[in-house]
């Protein structure tokens, strides 16, 4: 959610400066429907709408070329709608809501729907394209040179126009230096008197033919690749622009039996639409498969595979502990420092604030790697500094403590910042009143400051929890999920659900996007449930204190 909200933010801030520049808005309330049209405003509006139209036109061409009429219709309707909306004086609320909604659709709703739809397919390595793609790949990767056949020197020629005339291969046999012309109809010998052959064997001139140079030939590359000259043993194909060979596709697709046949071994692989691959009778499957709809199979696998469901509960418990621990510890430390700096007796607070924010200013990606090296048993700073010999990432509990420590260091400046802000919003009269009533500082904090802080910070804490629940980098860049039990390399002591399933989906034979999408839907469900419950509780709390 936070990304969708932050999307239009820059846009809302930029024009926000404008009233300051041009003085205070006059009669803004009464002029609700009849704001004066200023020249600058008009120019900005025209320029921006022009930009929209320009982008729409730019985006339209490829859509037309790809014949994606639905996409084109959506583009046209959106653009027309936008122009109407901002040229009319009506529909004020829509003017505010539409940009955010568009962002929401483009960056949140669309990806979510796309992920959800992927979860029902076997999309992944070996199953990326269509069945036709797979057949082409199988056939073209089975082309072998006919044993003992001749390798020809090749010149590409045409009888007509170099850019459009029908192509002919001029083939020189390197042993006999005999030249033949080959096209889709077959090969025929050319008379030696009509042709000039260079010492390397290439035909440089031939009566009635125009020889294409590399530049001309490569412009017609697809035609050259597709030109197959039939022979008795197979077919002559080009290999680049200067050589040709007699090759034969060993495997061919037969639409009649919907299968691939190998002409050398006689083996057949029949198409299996359920798995999107060609499978032989003995269970062997061809590597090149295609994308099919597999229904709920990915979801079934998550629920029934003992490799996944077995360690699931333990991982889930640690996942919660990690998310709650990261959020709770950073909050406690951040708040404690904020309270200390909030005290009026504190001096040099600005300096402290700058220093405390430093960890926040460094890229967490790099810091995680630095911390990983600092926890090295023999070379790490932590052990060397304290004279310890702890195998930090080698033992379950020390590894868990280490990742939480790293999280604490990375996360407390944020909590410190937001707690400072929230503290300053709490009126001093309230705390002063409690001290007048004779409350101890602890009682004041428990009864007044903390509840008011939590009202302001609860949503942030929930967001932080949801973020840390899926904090892939924090684990993957430090322990990589380890330490792993010696007898089970699939799930480690610090694995979160996201790192664990990443290993399952992308660790084995290449990427399995469909499976990964199914898992991410499960994780989404868990995080959404936890967040929804927390938000509901927060609302109740707000009702009590506000």
Site for another protein in 277-336 (CB under 8 A): 285, 287-289, 307
From 83-91, 329-337, 357-365, 425-433, give the range in contact with another protein by CB under 8 A: 83-91
Residue 470 Cα distances to 161, 356, 494, angstroms: 62, 26, 13
CB of 264 to another protein, least distance (A): 10
Binding of another protein by 20 (CB under 8 A): no
CB of 231 to another protein, least distance (A): 16
Among 20, 21, 37, 428, indicate the residue that binds another protein (CB under 8 A): 37
Among 121, 122, 158, 238, indicate the residue that binds another protein (CB under 8 A): 238
List binders of another protein among 468-507 (CB under 8 A): 479-480, 482-490, 503, 507
Contact predicate 206/195, CB 8 Å: yes
Binding of another protein by 149 (CB under 8 A): no
Contact predicate 242/146, CB 8 Å: no
CB of 509 to another protein, least distance (A): 5
From 4-12, 312-320, 328-336, 537-545, give the range in contact with another protein by CB under 8 A: 4-12
Among 1, 3, 6, 61, indicate the residue that binds another protein (CB under 8 A): 61
- Give the whole-angstrom CA distance, residue 258 versus residue 272: 9
DSSP codes joined into one string, 105-122 = IIIIIHHHHHHHHHTTB-
Among 4, 108, 115, 145, indicate the residue that binds another protein (CB under 8 A): 145
From 196-204, 240-248, 331-339, 402-410, give the range in contact with another protein by CB under 8 A: 240-248
List binders of another protein among 410-449 (CB under 8 A): none
From 136-144, 324-332, 433-441, 535-543, give the range in contact with another protein by CB under 8 A: 136-144
CB of 418 to another protein, least distance (A): 26
> Looking at residue 289, what DSSP letter applies?
-
Residue 536 tokens read as: 């509901």
DSSP codes joined into one string, 497-532 = HHHHHHHHHHHSSS--HHHHHHHHHHHHHHHHHHHH
- Give the whole-angstrom CA distance, residue 471 versus residue 76: 40
CB of 24 to another protein, least distance (A): 9
From 42-50, 318-326, 345-353, 421-429, give the range in contact with another protein by CB under 8 A: 42-50
Residue closer to another protein by CB (options 79, 464) is 79
Among 69, 96, 535, 545, indicate the residue that binds another protein (CB under 8 A): 96
Residue 321 tokens read as: 């502990």
* 5-33: b (≥16 Cβ within 10 Å) or e: eebbeeeeeeeeeeeeeeeeeeeeeeeee
CB of 498 to another protein, least distance (A): 16
CA-CA-CA-CA torsion sign (236, 239, 241, 244): negative
Q: Which of 341, 368, 298, 357 is nearest to 520 (CA)?
A: 298
């Amino acid at each position: 959610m936070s990304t969708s909200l932050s999307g239009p933010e820059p846009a809302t801030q930029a024009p926000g400066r404008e009233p300051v520049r041009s003085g205070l808005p006059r009669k803004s309330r009464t002029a609700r429907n009849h704001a004066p049209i200023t020249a600058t405003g008009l120019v900005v509006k025209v320029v921006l709408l022009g930009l929209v139209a320009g982008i729409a036109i730019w985006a339209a061409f490829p859509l037309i070329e790809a014949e994606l009429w639905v996409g084109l219709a959506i583009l046209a309707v959106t653009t027309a709608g936008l122009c109407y909306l901002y040229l009319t004086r009506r529909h004020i609320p829509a003017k505010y809501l539409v940009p955010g909604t568009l962002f929401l659709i483009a960056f949140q709703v669309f990806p979510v729907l796309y992920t959800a739809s992927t979860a029902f397919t076997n999309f992944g390595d070996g199953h990326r394209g269509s069945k036709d793609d797979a057949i082409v790949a199988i056939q073209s990767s089975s082309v072998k040179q006919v044993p003992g056949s001749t390798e020809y020197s090749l010149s590409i020629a045409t009888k007509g126009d170099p850019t459009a005339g029908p192509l002919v291969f001029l083939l020189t046999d390197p042993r006999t230096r005999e030249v033949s012309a080959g096209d889709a109809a077959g090969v025929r010998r050319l008379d030696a008197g009509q042709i000039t052959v260079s010492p390397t064997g290439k035909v440089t001139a031939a009566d009635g033919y125009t020889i294409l140079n590399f530049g001309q030939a490569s412009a017609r590359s697809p035609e050259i690749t597709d030109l197959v000259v039939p022979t008795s043993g197979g077919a002559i194909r080009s290999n680049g622009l200067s050589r040709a060979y007699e090759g034969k596709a060993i495997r061919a697709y037969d639409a009649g039996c919907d299968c691939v046949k190998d002409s050398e071994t006689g083996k057949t692989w029949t198409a299996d639409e359920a798995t999107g691959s060609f499978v032989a009778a003995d269970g062997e499957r061809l590597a090149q498969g295609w994308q099919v709809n597999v229904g709920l199979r990915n979801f079934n696998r998550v629920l029934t595979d003992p490799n996944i469901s077995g360690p699931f509960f333990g991982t889930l418990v640690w996942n919660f502990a990690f998310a709650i621990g990261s959020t709770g510890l950073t909050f406690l430390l951040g708040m404690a420092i904020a309270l200390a700096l909030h005290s009026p007796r504190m001096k040099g607070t600005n300096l402290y604030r700058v220093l405390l924010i430093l960890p926040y200013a460094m890229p967490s990606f790099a810091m995680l790697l630095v911390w990983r090296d600092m926890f090295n048993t023999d070379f790490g700073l932590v052990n060397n500094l304290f004279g310890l010999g702890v195998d930090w990432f080698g033992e379950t509990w020390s590894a868990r403590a280490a990742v939480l420590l790293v999280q604490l260091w990375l996360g407390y400046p944020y909590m410190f910042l937001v707690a400072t802000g929230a503290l300053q919003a709490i009126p001093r009269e309230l705390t002063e009143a409690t001290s007048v009533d004779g409350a101890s500082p602890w009682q004041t904090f428990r009864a007044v400051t903390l509840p008011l802080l939590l009202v302001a910070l609860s949503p942030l804490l929930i967001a932080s929890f949801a973020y840390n629940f899926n904090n892939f980098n924090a684990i993957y860049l430090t322990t990589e999920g380890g330490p792993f039990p010696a007898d089970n390399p699939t799930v480690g002591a610090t694995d979160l659900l996201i790192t664990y399933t990443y290993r399952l989906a992308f660790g084995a034979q290449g990427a399995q996007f469909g499976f990964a999408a199914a898992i991410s839907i499960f994780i989404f469900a868990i995080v959404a449930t936890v967040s929804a419950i927390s938000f509901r509780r927060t609302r109740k709390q707000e009702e009590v204190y506000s």
